[in-house]
Structure 1
Amino acid sequence: MNAFARLISYCRPYWWRIALAALGSLAVGGMDGALAYLVEPVLKRIFSGKDMQIFVFLPLGIMVLYAVRGGCRFMNDYFLRTAGQLAVQDVRNAIYRKNIRLSMGFFNQHPTGSLMSRILNDVGMMQEGMGNVITGLFRDGISAASLLGLIFYRNWELAIISFTVIPLSVFPAQKIGRRIKNLARQGQGKMGDISSILQETFSGIKVIKAFGLESREIERFEETNLELYSFSRRNIKYEAISTPLMESITSIGIAVVIWVGGRSVMKGAMSAPEFFSFITAMLLVYTPVKRLVASYNTLQRAMGAAERVFEVIDQVPQIADAPDAHELGRSKGEVEFRGVSFRYEEENVLNRVSLTANRGEVLALVGPSGGGKTTLVSLISRFYDPTEGAILIDGHDIRQLTLKSLMAQVALVDQETILFNDTIANNIRYGKTDASEEEVQRAAQAAFAHDFISQLPEGYETNIGDRGVRLSGGQRQRICIARAILKDAPILILDEATSALDTESEQMVQAALNNLMANRTTFVIAHRLSTITHADRILVLEKGEIVETGNHDALIARGGTYSRLHALQFGEQPAAE
């Protein structure tokens, strides 16, 4: 009920559509009652009054009645369904907004395919449910109410007899509805698993084909798809049984009414036209009641999906602006770590790290894999908050800064070149959305990307495809560097920016990085030690702690971890400690 109330709250902005639909519903429901009511006088005039003139007007009247009824039904369906669609569109926007603003830790815990499934499949099921349910509640509810009034008006005793069976159907309807809701929720979870498999396989299709594992992935997909079918099969079973069950229960009421009403007609207590009018209304009222039961089942499916959607909408971001957070103008680029520790679940990733990066200084982070290098630089952008200690920029604790002003201080060039299915200009402009064409070109020139961009068919307006697949690795990386140059942030993070490039591309990218690093405080993560020999300081991280610090020559002379790593890469004998 909480999920249903929340869904209804999304309909409030579209109340005027619902009001127009309600008018149409009143007209449709009233006409259903009028049609059943007119059965008695028409039959009386035909059989008792021998009025043959009515046959001239009856067909015309029926056509006019159904034309008006059809127009009202269209108004009801159109405005109710569009209100439902708009409401669910707002829900989809809300869950997307929340997803985008959640912290990195949330995305580490939830597969991409599952999140996509909630926005697409779950919201789609809500969309279908809202359209059907709102339409059913108005149109079928009003139609049932008008016919029910006529039944009691005609003969309240028979009406009570015919509807004593309805309470009998409430319990099984509720029980079936709960089963449908649970199965829908579990089925949507399994649909999320399928979405995850699709996302993984299509993204990693090159690896799958390179290792010849198509059959294995097909088997994995088919197993998950079969599990989805098991939920769908049980869902279908419960939905299929609800209508026959309702019909069986209501048939008891119909049978008793026919027996009691027929005896009343034979005894003269009730006229045949009155009895036929009552039977017509009773049969008509059972139709919207059955549709309401079907709508209830649809509602339960929609609620199962809605609960999964609202789980995400209700997520509280782990990283958010403090109540007293303040803006930070362009910083000097001075970064300080004070006793910073970070723990991921039960694993200690960083242990009381302290360091200071001065304005314009280049700090290189090296060390064995898993030493905490990427985690350390991720804390600067508040992708995560430290478990202990504090990080300061120009003396300000970054937790006391607004996220927007903090992100304005940092530019990131990652080993994974994230580009969007858009033009080259817009990908570069991602660092500064209001940049002019001249600014975009200057950034590209500084990144040594202008020449190859100019040779493309449409230049800067060339669409680079999904993830920039139409460009080489070195070209993609230089586009990312141009994006960072255009952003012009005082703090720069380079995370393995040249690790996946060949020698020629690496030289071009390294030249572009040198332009990018000028006059910026730079944190460089590198496994290729040849790329960081120029660093002002090199920090060696091992098991979450800084075990060595100094420039290249000093660390080589020391003969410690850095010296051993350097010797491994260049085939040298490490210096003795």
Structure 2
Amino acid sequence: MPLNASAEAKATAEQTISVLQGGHYSWQKGWLKRIPGIYARLLNYLVPYTKTVIAAMFFMVITALTSSMIAVLMGKLTDQGFYAKDVSALWWAPAALIAVALLQGGSTFGSSYLLQKVSQQVLLKIRCEMFEKEIRWPAANYQKYTSGIVMSKYINEASTALGGAAQLLTTIVRDSLQLVALLGLLIWHDWKLTLVTLVVAPLIAVILRWVNKKTKKYGLQTQTALGNMMNTVLEAYQGQRIIKIYDAYEKEQTRFRGVNELLYKLSMRMQAVTAAGTPLTQFVTMAGVSIVVIVALLQAQAGHLTLGDFITFLSALLLLMNPVKKLSALNGSVARISAAAESLFTTMDEATEKDPGNMELPRLLGGVRFEHVGYRYAGAGRQALTDVSFDVKPGETIAFVGASGAGKTTLINLVPRFWQPTEGEIYFDGIPQSTVTLKSLRQQIALVSQDVVLFDDTIAANIAYGMENVSEEDIKQAADAAYLTPFIRELPEGLNSPVGPAGQKLSGGQKQRISIARALLKNAPILLLDEATSALDTESEKYIQLSLDRLMKGRTTFVVAHRLSTIMGADKIVVIKEGRICEMGRHEELLAKKGAYAHLYNIQFVQKPTEDKIQSA
């Protein structure tokens, strides 16, 4: 059964506590082993854009070579312009430096633009794949992930993984090439001096390992905290009337402040690690440069090194600082991207609904039979339904009544296989449910529930939702049958009037009638009514009931209701108690038995409810 607001809030709080304690997202020593697989999967998305990536890498090679060209030019300028006093250096040196700068700028722009283009195309593809999987999840997954966590994956984690991956690839290729080119130049000029610079390499490796470990840990926790913050904002937005009526402003502000402060702390911890890593690496690198300068000066004083060679070597060494700086900062990015990608792919790898059946159901007459059906929610201590058996003939109406939590909604959710029975079988015109495809099964079923779902579109689009080749006349007839026509006529745009996000521009009764019109237009042989009139006022209920009477005519109808007045005319009334059928029959028959149904009836229509009677019901 879907999580209600309080349950979702509880889930959010539990996840937040999990972050604070380390929980599921705590640091795991084995994460490094998973990184190659994560990046291999990300890189696999680049295959269709191989030519664009190669073009970007070509520009990166040019960018890398320009750094070495600058170092060589500085050395030549020193020898010929300053030492040899060559007059021609007055024109060729500035011209060469400007040309190299233009070449470097153009190649940098080209590589960045092309890789960002590929990144956005891959981001588009991944989000579409994730959405395609999400809408096909089994019902259990919607309980597993809160809406805020799911939204965070689309907005934050996908952008971090893909946007960061593009920058990561740019930095790895371009700055690694620069590093190789400059090191090559250094070795060519003086391999002994170059070896001196490698003395600090082990210390740099230790720093990078520490940064990587901490950033990965905080990255995972930040992803979760951000999802929890988004979930809190979403709950407050949807529950704004409850917040106002119960004067819960401070409570919600405190709740949001707690989640927001956690996100702040995690962000600052990550920033502290990242910010410390770069200057530490630079300091160690500069210490290496200082050692090289000392050795180089000693060689120059001994006459083993010319001034131009020294300037070339020093320029290359200083230019080496920038790629080293970027590559050292990259360590944190690798951890953040791998955390985001791992979380993203975990969600994408969630299994979709099982669809083991291979038989296509024909148009049903509407006969439905439950045979010893049972259901247990994953992790639950007891059965939600036990040994449920009944038979509904085509065109009959069967109603389910009982206390809250008895199993009524669970039972009705088994019909379209939102949940799959853990025991027994359901038959449709004698055909086992487990042998048919989900698509052909759900084509036979229409749903009207108390929680009406309308999409941010027009009235016409919501009535015709999911149905193709529907004419405007068909939509009008369905609207008329649902008593929507008088209301629609008052609107300037008629059927083309927007309903707003979640139907915010409409009243509860109007939304419910659109839902009924949608079911009428689908014209399915089986109808599910889940508390369809429970949240309506008397005037709205009158119109809704008239609409439902038209909708139910000639259809096999399953009704879940608390108001017994709405189901007295049902062909069969089933009383559910603690997941079992305790009574079944028509209204008059059940009253005559003076059992559980009669007790519920007396509470609603005869006796004044008392606390003891309500609890016993």
Q: TM-score w.r.t. structure 1 length?
A: 0.96
The offset of 1:49, in angstroms, is 3.1
Q: Give the Cα separation in 2 of the matches to 1:431 and 1:273.
A: 75
1:172 has 2:207 as partner: yes
The offset of 1:315, in angstroms, is 1.3
The offset of 1:256, in angstroms, is 1.3
1:133 has 2:164 as partner: no
Report SS of the residue matched to 2:376.
strand
Query: Which residue matches 1:9?
Result: 44
The offset of 1:91, in angstroms, is 2.2
Query: Which residue matches 1:341?
Result: 374
Structure 2, unaligned stretches of length 5 or more? Answer: 1-34, 610-617
The answer to whether the Cα contact below 8 Å between 2:526 and 2:556 also exists between their aligned partners in 1 is: yes
Query: Which residue matches 2:544?
Result: 509
Structure 1, unaligned stretches of length 5 or more? Answer: none
The offset of 1:403, in angstroms, is 1.4
Query: Which residue matches 2:362?
Result: 329
The answer to whether the Cα contact below 8 Å between 2:300 and 2:307 also exists between their aligned partners in 1 is: yes
Give deviations 1:468-513, integer Å, cap 9, x for gaps. Answer: 1211111110000001111111110000101111111111111111
Query: Which residue matches 2:258?
Result: 223
Q: Give the Cα separation in 1 of the matches to 2:41 and 2:382.
A: 39
More deviation, 74-83/123-132: 123-132
Aligned residues: 572
- Corresponding residue to 1:34 among 66, 69, 72: 69
Report SS of the residue matched to 1:533.
coil
Query: What one-letter code is carried by the residue in structure 2 that aligns with 1:489?
Result: A
Give deviations 1:9-29, integer Å, cap 9, x for gaps. Answer: 122222222111101001111
- Corresponding residue to 1:263 among 298, 303, 314: 298
The offset of 1:572, in angstroms, is 5.6
Query: Which residue matches 1:194?
Result: 229
Report SS of the residue matched to 1:440.
helix
Query: What one-letter code is carried by the residue in structure 2 that aligns with 1:356?
Result: D
Q: Give the Cα separation in 2 of the matches to 1:249 and 1:85.
A: 37
Query: Which residue matches 1:495?
Result: 530
The offset of 1:36, in angstroms, is 1.2
The answer to whether the Cα contact below 8 Å between 1:114 and 1:196 also exists between their aligned partners in 2 is: yes
Query: Which residue matches 1:124?
Result: 159
1:283 has 2:322 as partner: no
Q: Give the Cα separation in 1 of the matches to 2:174 and 2:230.
A: 36
Q: Give the Cα separation in 2 of the matches to 1:168 and 1:13.
A: 40
- Corresponding residue to 1:210 among 228, 241, 245: 245
Q: Give the Cα separation in 2 of the matches to 1:530 and 1:52.
A: 106
1:248 has 2:287 as partner: no
- Corresponding residue to 1:320 among 354, 372, 396: 354
The offset of 1:246, in angstroms, is 0.4
1:367 has 2:402 as partner: yes
Query: Which residue matches 1:309?
Result: 344
The answer to whether the Cα contact below 8 Å between 1:133 and 1:296 also exists between their aligned partners in 2 is: no
Q: Give the Cα separation in 1 of the matches to 2:233 and 2:282.
A: 42
The offset of 1:32, in angstroms, is 1.1
Give deviations 1:351-392, integer Å, cap 9, x for gaps. Answer: 110111111111111111111111001011111111111112
Report SS of the residue matched to 1:555.
helix
Query: Which residue matches 2:21?
Result: none
Query: What one-letter code is carried by the residue in structure 1 that aligns with 2:109?
Result: F
Please list, as runs of the form range in 1=range in 2, the aligned pairs for 1:520-539 lying within 5 A after superposition. Answer: 520-539=555-574
Query: What one-letter code is carried by the residue in structure 2 that aligns with 1:325?
Result: N
The answer to whether the Cα contact below 8 Å between 2:168 and 2:330 also exists between their aligned partners in 1 is: yes
Query: Which residue matches 1:421?
Result: 456
The answer to whether the Cα contact below 8 Å between 2:393 and 2:556 also exists between their aligned partners in 1 is: yes
Q: Give the Cα separation in 1 of the matches to 2:47 and 2:451.
A: 44
Give deviations 1:29-74, integer Å, cap 9, x for gaps. Answer: 1111122122222322213432112212322222222112211111
Give deviations 1:159-203, integer Å, cap 9, x for gaps. Answer: 111123223211220221121011011011111111111111110
1:402 has 2:437 as partner: yes
1:62 has 2:97 as partner: yes
The offset of 1:431, in angstroms, is 4.3
1:144 has 2:200 as partner: no
Q: Give the Cα separation in 1 of the matches to 2:523 and 2:561.
A: 22
The answer to whether the Cα contact below 8 Å between 2:75 and 2:312 also exists between their aligned partners in 1 is: yes
Q: TM-score w.r.t. structure 2 length?
A: 0.90
Give % identity: 38
The offset of 1:562, in angstroms, is 1.1
The answer to whether the Cα contact below 8 Å between 2:70 and 2:97 also exists between their aligned partners in 1 is: no
Report SS of the residue matched to 1:281.
helix
Q: Give the Cα separation in 2 of the matches to 1:405 and 1:338.
A: 21
Report SS of the residue matched to 1:369.
coil
The offset of 1:573, in angstroms, is 10
Q: Give the Cα separation in 1 of the matches to 2:166 and 2:468.
A: 38
The offset of 1:347, in angstroms, is 2.9
